[in-house]
Chain A
Amino acid sequence: MVQASPKSQTSYDVIVVGSGAGGGMAAYQLAVAGLKVLVLEAGRSYDPVRETPMFKLPRHAPLLGAGTKHKPFGFYDATVDGGWEVPGEPYTNAPGTDFKWWRARMLGGRTNHWGRISLRMGEYDFKPKTRDGLGADWPLGYEDLAPYYDRTEMLIGVYGGDDDLENTPGSPAGVLQPAPAPRATELLTKKHAAPLGIPVIPAHLAIMTQRQDATTLPQKIHPDNPLAQRVLAQSMRQRAACLWATPCGWGCSVKANFQSTTVLLPPAMMTGNVDIVPNAMVREVTLDASGKATGVHYIDKLTRTDREVKARVVVLAASACESARIMLNSRSAQFPNGIANSSGLVGKYLMDTVGAGIGGQIPALENLPPHNTDGASGMHMYVPWWQYKEQLAGKLGFARGYHIEFGGGRGMPGPGIFSGLESHTNGAYGQRFKEEARRYYGSFMYFDGRGEMIPNEESYCEIDPTVVDQWGIPVLRFHWKWSEHETKQAAHMVKTFAQMIEAMGGTVQGTVQTDGSKVIANGGQIIHEVGTCRMGTDPRTSVLNEYCQSWDVKNLFVTDGSVFVSNADKNPTLSILALAWRTCDHIMAELQRGNI
């Protein structure tokens, strides 16, 4: 298993800052390629096999497991020392901004608790400016990333269907695992959404519905690399298929879903090429006179001591805003505004996902025969964006799309299970309350939109000149603004969800707002923050080239969400993983060419 080891050597080929999706993938790929890798993680070590509260019940937890400021997604959520606030590590907001910055301080970062939704970006998503004139194009296209999506999906295990729709790419045969059987709520939604022209198709989630084929997959994934094949096969054999119970957000001790700590770091460690140092808060990338990165400084949190480590290559994967923070704090005579920031764009074009949702009560779901609806805990079906043509024709009033995540059913009773029953039952109590509870249980559904935000000049992060965290490191200050493209999209979301709920014969809970600014989630709240070090084709208008390599500092790379040029409605983790892999191939090629 992953062992947090102290430094077994003093210099490395590569330092990887962060151990989540981007850091885990970089550590794995570079280690199987034979490089000596040091992973620095700002949080503590974490072992999902021992620490995941599998099958625990709400009543075993304080407050029945409800979310608190210390554990915003509930007591059992896998997140360690994280959430919207991290103890001793503040951030600030400019006046008028209420950005929420989610962080985790643990090995594997946010991959331990994430939603596992793994949607590929499509061809439009890479060239949004070409399509509608807004935002910026990526320096690569779908065809460049597609092979990495294929291999990433085979590596981590993703279930999904065989749909291949407009800008919603399918995967080649044999890449995905079978989609799980739909739940009653999903089938009912599909039936009633169809007449509205809204497609409901199998979702793609990084959860294994069957065990991986450890005999053939490693060769397919790493055709010419015996070391990679060996460690990956060994790692795959340690993973079980989904047990169809206990929430993925708590982590998974049988390794059935994707977490960096169960899927990437174990085979990386098996190579013998990786050291991981936890509690290592990186504050600065160091630079030599020739303009090459030489390593990093970090604060060892356990001793509050500054340490320096050196490597030939530095890979930042600390999370979108954290990597930008490290770069902005790495000031030198060559880079007075932060390392690799000659463009002045580090921290700029910060994006999140547009989020809005409503709930409904569906009478058809009342008094259903008891049956198990747990499934893979995440959604089995979803709605991809379906109005590309109307949108391009300018009929919608906003430029980019959203997908719909929805659910409901006879889930495990938790705190707040019948909040709101007062209004449905005119204040029932006593025997009547019990009868109403039996009737209403399982009849509530939720619909959440997840949409694309267009990058803008007023959404960014910078160093707050007056505040440091408890490690003495200057903190980020956020600026945020939604444009009308996002607020109108949010209004469209809730209007559509109300139509879907009504088509199912249900009633919407609460009011359907027509003003999207009243329903749109705060910046950062959907936890898909990306941008801040965007890729591009021009060093003046981007921080990184198409391989996520700094234009200014050739041996400095970024492999987290920072690199995103746009933020399609597709949840970012799968693309972070695929891009990180592509970057690692480029690092190997650059090293072989002697360029870095």
Chain B
Amino acid sequence: MHDDEQGQPIDRREALKTLAAAAAAATALDGITASTADAQQPVTPRRPLPVAGAAPAPAVGPRGTPTDPDLITPKSPWPRLLSAQELITVAALCDMIIPADAKSPAASTVGVPAYIDEYVSAPYDWAERALVRVRGGLTWLDVESGKRFGRRFSAATVAQRTAICDDICYLPKAGPAFQAAARFFDMIRDLTASGFYTSDAGMKDLQYVGNVPLAKFDGPPPEVLRKLGLA
């Protein structure tokens, strides 16, 4: 109220407009940097200039390196490694973990296989290990399904897939022959959940209602307080 009397107050609506303008400006900025050669280049910690003593314009905004990526227009630049056939098997397994139901769709319909491909293909040591585990697990699934049912996992019936998944879904109860497969399954379950519940459909399924600007934060509503015995 003091502020409204002089100067230019920033009210919430204007703050949001500022946000939109900031996003637009940053997008435009990205257009400029993306047209220069270095935006796409892999990690060079700093770009040394060829001529010592030349005074360059100060760098503005992110350089597009792994430690200074463009946060407004993110990119996931590394090549994907899983084959089309592997992705079919991944999709079949994801949908065994998160199938469609009345509240939300199946995992494969919201991009989970693509996320798993991105994950195992990432340029990090842990991803190299994950790639081995996932590839090994996918091949094992098809071999196991072939032994039991004479067909690939993705071509097996839901009942047949369930028979295999039941053997590998819980590491402490998995038999000696299924230890590696159970570790693989748990990794895929975690990744599937991550991919699914970060999608719009997944956030809606969990009834996540945040990430929206509010004029005021009121704390929990009365029904929450009652349920917790705090009312």
A51-B61 in contact given A88-B45, A245-B210 (Cβ < 8 Å)? yes
Kindly identify which residue among B10, B103, B199, B220 contacts A187, using a CB–CB cutoff of 8 Å.
Answer: B220
Q: Are B211 and A413 in contact (CB under 8 A)?
A: no
Interface status of B49 (Cβ within 8 A of chain A): yes
* Set of chain A residues within 8 Å of B177, measured between Cβ atoms: none
Q: Are A80 and B7 in contact (CB under 8 A)?
A: no
Q: Are A76 and B71 in contact (CB under 8 A)?
A: yes
A410-B208 in contact given A68-B124, A419-B190 (Cβ < 8 Å)? yes
* Set of chain A residues within 8 Å of B19, measured between Cβ atoms: 54-55, 253-254
Residues of chain A in range 228-269 having any CB-CB distance to chain B below 8 Å:
233-234, 237-246, 250, 253-254
* Set of chain B residues within 8 Å of A238, measured between Cβ atoms: 10
- What's the interface size class on A, roughly? 35 or more
Residues of chain B in range 41-56 having any CB-CB distance to chain A below 8 Å:
43, 45-46, 48-49, 51-56
Interface status of B228 (Cβ within 8 A of chain A): yes
- Closest residue of B by beta carbon distance from A365: B228
Task: State in angstroms the CA–CA spacing of A428 and B189 once bound together.
Answer: 9
Q: Are A4 and B58 in contact (CB under 8 A)?
A: yes
* Set of chain B residues within 8 Å of A244, measured between Cβ atoms: 213-214, 216-217
A246-B211 in contact given A254-B10, A303-B49 (Cβ < 8 Å)? yes
Q: Are A303 and B54 in contact (CB under 8 A)?
A: yes
Interface centre among B12, B23, B71, B225, by most chain A C-beta atoms within 10 angstroms, is B71
Q: Are A431 and B99 in contact (CB under 8 A)?
A: yes
Kindly identify which residue among B8, B12, B43, B61 contacts A243, using a CB–CB cutoff of 8 Å.
Answer: B12
Q: Are A87 and B45 in contact (CB under 8 A)?
A: yes
* Set of chain B residues within 8 Å of A181, measured between Cβ atoms: 217-219
Q: Are B219 and A183 in contact (CB under 8 A)?
A: yes
Number of A-B contacts (CB under 8 A): 301
Q: Are B210 and A372 in contact (CB under 8 A)?
A: yes
Interface status of B207 (Cβ within 8 A of chain A): yes
Interface status of A370 (Cβ within 8 A of chain B): yes
Q: Are A59 and B230 in contact (CB under 8 A)?
A: no
* Interface 0/1 of B196-231, CB less than 8 Å to A: 011100110111111111101111110111011110
Q: Are A63 and B2 in contact (CB under 8 A)?
A: no
Interface status of B176 (Cβ within 8 A of chain A): no
Q: CB within 8 Å of B: which residues of A? A: 4, 6, 44-45, 47, 49-64, 68-71, 75-76, 80-83, 86-88, 180-184, 187-188, 191, 211, 213-216, 233-234, 237-246, 250, 253-254, 278-279, 301-305, 364-365, 368-376, 410-419, 421-422, 426-431, 433-434, 437-438, 441, 470
Q: CB within 8 Å of A: which residues of B? A: 2-3, 5-10, 12, 15-16, 18-19, 22-23, 25-26, 29, 43, 45-46, 48-49, 51-56, 58-63, 65-69, 71-72, 74-77, 96-99, 101, 103-104, 111, 115, 118-119, 122, 124, 162, 165, 169-171, 173, 185-186, 189-190, 193-195, 197-199, 202-203, 205-214, 216-221, 223-225, 227-230
Since A49-B18, A56-B71 are in contact, a sample of 12 more A-B pairs with Cβ atoms closer than 8 Å, ordered by chain A residue number, is: A50-B22, A52-B22, A59-B198, A62-B76, A87-B43, A184-B219, A187-B219, A215-B2, A243-B16, A254-B10, A416-B194, A418-B194
